[in-house]
Amino acid sequence: MMHDFIFLLGREPDLSIAELRSLFGEVTILGDFALIKTQQNIVDTYAKTLGGTIKIGRVVEKKLKKTDILSAYVHLIEQKIVE
């Protein structure tokens, strides 16, 4: 079964994207985010080893509006500032 995963890219997005492409091949870029499809559960495997990725999540709902994505991004930023 294929799963979709989203990555919040780091401060050097080109390096982050290159790292993801070297591991997973095809990567879709959406601003500061990258999306991939894979059969693996990559969160546990790669969460601590990807140097260019800030956060990883599994996509559970695909019918989001751009405003929802922006709200989620703002939430992640606020969470990072608080941590």
For the chain, the domain total comes to 1
State the residue range of the domain holding 35: 3-82
72: CATH: 3.30.70
DSSP state of 25: S
Of 64 and 78, more confident: 78
With a CB cutoff of 8 Å and minimum separation 6, the contacts of 36 are 4, 5, 7, 20, 24, 26, 27, 28, 42
For residue range 23-70, list pLDDT tens digits in order: 889 999 988 899 999 888 787 777 778 888 888 888 876 666 666 777
Residue 83 pLDDT grade (very low, low, confident, very high; cuts 50, 70, 90): very low
